[in-house]
Structure formats: C-alpha cells, structure tokens
Structure 1
Amino acid sequence: MLGYAVFSIVFFGVLLFWPAGTFDYWQAWVFIAVFVVATMIPTVYLAVKYPDALRRRTRSGPFAESRPAQRLINVGIILTTVAAAVLSALDHRFGWSAVPIAVVIVGNVLVVGGLAIAEATVVQNNYAAATITVEADQPVVSTGLYGMVRHPMYVGALIMMTGVPLALGSYWALLTLIPGVAVFVARITDEEKALREELAGYDEYIQKVPYRLVPGVW
C-alpha cells in the first residue's frame, strides 16, 4: 500500500511538474494529495475487510489482461490519463486557461466522488476486478449501484476523468474526454461480450438493467 502511494506521487509528479517546467504549481500539489488520500483510505479498508477484492483490483495493466482487445484498450486508458496530465501541465506552463479556484475545487470534488463510486462498486461486487475475468463461482450482482447501470465502476472513472483537468486548472485538457469516453465504450462493449458468454445469468441481468453507463441514454 505504501508502495502504491509512492508510485502515485512519483507518477503524477513526473507527468505534471516536468512538462509544467516548475514546482510552483499548487493545483498539481493539491491534486496529488487528494488523489493519494482518496485512494489509500479505501485501499486500507479493502485490505482489512475484502482482501480478495483488493487482490483482484491490484492485478492490472495491459499484460494482466487475457483478451487481446483489452490489452489494446488498457494501453488507450493509460495514454489518455497521461495525455490529460501532460496537457494540463502544459496549460499551466503557457497560461492557456484561466480556471478559478472554485472550479479547481469542483474538479477535486469530482475526483474524490469518482473514486468513491469506483470503490463502492468494489465493496458491492468483490469480483469487480481490474481485468476482464470471470471466475467459476462469480455471481451476477444486480442491486445497489448495479441496479442503476451495469458498469458503475466506469461511471466513477469517467467522473474522475472529468474532474482531473479542472483540478489541475485546465480547460483544454478536457478534450482528452473525447478519446477517454471512446476507450471506455470499447472496453464495455468487449467486456459485455465476455460476460454474456461466460457469466451465467448476465443475459437476464441485461433485461433487468438496460443501461450501461447513463440511465436513459446508453
């Protein structure tokens, strides 16, 4: 857990302060602090209460995926994350955006809210892994957040993705939402193909909860 916190600090530190050309970037410092705290608290909770769920969540990345399409999609998610951070930092460096403090605060709230939804999803469904896998005894979860949309974890991820550029003081970096949404749509489409083939009862769940991400839309 400590290793993950250190990795997050170094990862975002390099992506933000290097292209920004300065450490005088208070939005980046606040974002890193918010992100680390907002991820470490639920990680500790999962480690104590649901260690199997934490194990599934920490096994991630392109090489952890068994489906070729998901390997490519995973790379797309990483590149989108990197692009959002770097573009935000360049925006700070060259002063392209004038983002009020209130909007920066809203951005951090969205980051925390998105992470909270993702973690609540894991608590409700301990099989919500970071990779697309179906285990032998895995049940279909259809209550709680799963009673509203079929992929609440990705709802949380997209909310966080929206908040990151604002938290970092950039409007231009919101453009990364376009490829970001496209990548998640591709991930969901391929994931549901696997779930319909391998997870008993998923077809019936689709009939019960027709929307993937946004109720009434898709």
Structure 2
Amino acid sequence: MSRRKAIAYAIGLPLSLLGLIFLPAGTIAWRPGWIFLTVLILGFGTSALVLAWVNPVIYRARSRLQAGTKSWDKALLAIILPAMTAVVPVAALDAGRYHWSAIPAWVVLSGYIAMLAGIAVTGWAQAVNPFFEPGVRIQSERHQRVIDVGPYRIVRHPGYIAALFLFFGMALALGSYWALVPAALAAVLLVVRTSWEDHLLRTELPGYDEYSRRVQWRLVPGVW
C-alpha cells in the first residue's frame, strides 16, 4: 500500500464510520456511538500496528480483490459486504434514534467482548498467514502453501469465525437487536463461503486435504 493510499484509508475509514453511526442516530451527541467508535478504532489500530511489524506483506495481499478471484466469491461478497456494513447504521437507527430495542448492559458488554475477540482472532490469523486475502482463489503465483500454525491448528478458517464474532458483536455493542438481521444474513452467506472455499482448497491446494484430516473443524471445534 502506498503512503498516499494508507493516509487516505486512515482518514477515510473513521469519517465513513462517523457517517454510518451518527447520521442514522440523528445526533452527534449519541454517547454509545462514540464509545463504539473509540473501541473499534483502538482495536483495529492496535491490530494494524502489530501486523505492520510481524507481517507487513498482508497489506499488499489485502489491498484489493486479486486477479483469479472466483466469480462465485465475488457474487457472495456483493451481498456479504453491504450486509456487514448495514449492521452499524441499522443499530444506530434503532438504538440511537427510535429505541426499538431494550438491551441490558451485560448484553452490550458481551457484544464488545465478542467484537474485540473477533479483532484479535482475525489479527492473529493474518499475522501467521501471508496468503490471507479478501477474495477466494488459489495463489499459484505466490506459491501458496497450507498454513497450519497459530489459530489454524484449531480450525481451518479462523478468519471467518472471527468475522462472525464481529458481525454479531457490533450489533449488540451498539445496543440493537434489529441489527442482528443484517448480521445474520452476512453470517449465513459467510458459512456458505466457508464451505465452498474449503472444497476448493481440498481439491486444488496441495497438502490441504491431508491438513483437513488433521484439523477436522472448519469454524467451530466439535461442531463444524
């Protein structure tokens, strides 16, 4: 990532979040929105600094969808990404403006715990996996190999279980049950994506089939 692009990303993302949170809430004085924004920026900011130190190549890998990304994955992402993004404004519209949901404080706290767990796990996965890209493909030009260290010793797709924590955690941290609807849509499609990607890797990535026999679980140990 160029310096100019990195600066634009660092400025543009917080500004976009401001719009997604406070425009639907109808006020800039919505305190839960500021708490959420602060926690999110600190969490991802810390993760970004660690990744810049331990695995800086990840920024180039994740800068865009690369050539060879499967068409079915592009179709899934065309729904997953808007659904994931919709979690925040739907939650702000609910909890910040209309107050449809009455969520106890302990549920909000559990949302923050889930959100931070998602940031930590996805950061861990990216730290040990230089092939962690936004699109599904076989990275033959980068000599992709099986990664079986870190969280990949426990489940085969730790980045996806981390995303599920983030989807649902963001909705609850902002105090909204209604925001669980787009979170659930994104989660269902992400599970489909996990299954299809796993099938691709087992058939086309050397060594992955043997790895899948050693690490049996795709997302949740003991379940699936």
1:36-115 superposed matches below 5 A:
36-60=41-65, 66-92=69-95, 93-115=97-119
Tell me the CA shift for residue 100 of structure 1.
3.3
Q: Tell me how far apart the structure 2 counterparts of residues 110 and 2 of structure 1 sit (CA, whole Å).
A: 28
**Aligned residue number for residue 123 of structure 2:** 119
Q: More deviation in 146-155 or 6-15?
A: 6-15
3-state SS in 2 of match to 1:58 = coil
Residue 129 in structure 1 maps to residue 136 in structure 2: no
Give 2:11's aligned residue: 6
What's the TM-score once normalised by structure 2's chain length?
A: 0.87
CA distance in 1, matches of 2:202, 2:175: 41
Q: Which runs of 5+ in 2 are unaligned?
A: 1-5
* AA partner of residue 122 (structure 1): Q
Give the Cα–Cα distance (whole angstroms) in 2 for the partners of residues 172 and 193 of structure 1: 33
How is 1:14-25 mapped onto 2 (pairs within 5 angstroms)? 14-25=19-30
Of the candidates 187, 193, 215, which is equivalent to residue 187 of structure 1?
A: 193
Distance 1:100 1:7 in 2: 33
How far the C-alpha of 1:190 sits from its partner, in A, is: 2.3
Which letter maps to 1:123?
A
Structure 2 match to 1:167: 173
Contact 1:69 1:190 in 2 (8 A): no
Residues in 1 aligned to 2:109 and 2:31: alpha-carbon distance in whole angstroms = 12
Q: d(CA) in 1 for partners of 2:77 and 2:181?
A: 19
- Give 1:139's aligned residue: 145
- Residue 118 of structure 1 contacts residue 152 of structure 1 at CA under 8 Å; is this kept in 2? yes
The alpha-carbon deviation at position 160 of structure 1 amounts to 1.2
Residue ranges of structure 1 left out of the alignment (5+ in a row): none
Q: Which amino acid letter does the alignment assign opposite residue 76 of structure 2?
A: I
One-letter amino acid matched to 1:75: A
Worse-superposed segment, 156-165 or 98-107: 98-107
TM-score between both structures, scaled by the size of structure 1: 0.90
State the alpha-carbon separation in 2 of the partners of residues 31 and 3 from structure 1: 22
1:154 aligns with 2:160: yes
Q: Distance in 2 between matches of 1:217 and 1:134?
A: 27
Shift of 1:70: 0.9
**Superposition CA RMSD, Å:** 1.9
Percent of residue pairs identical? 35
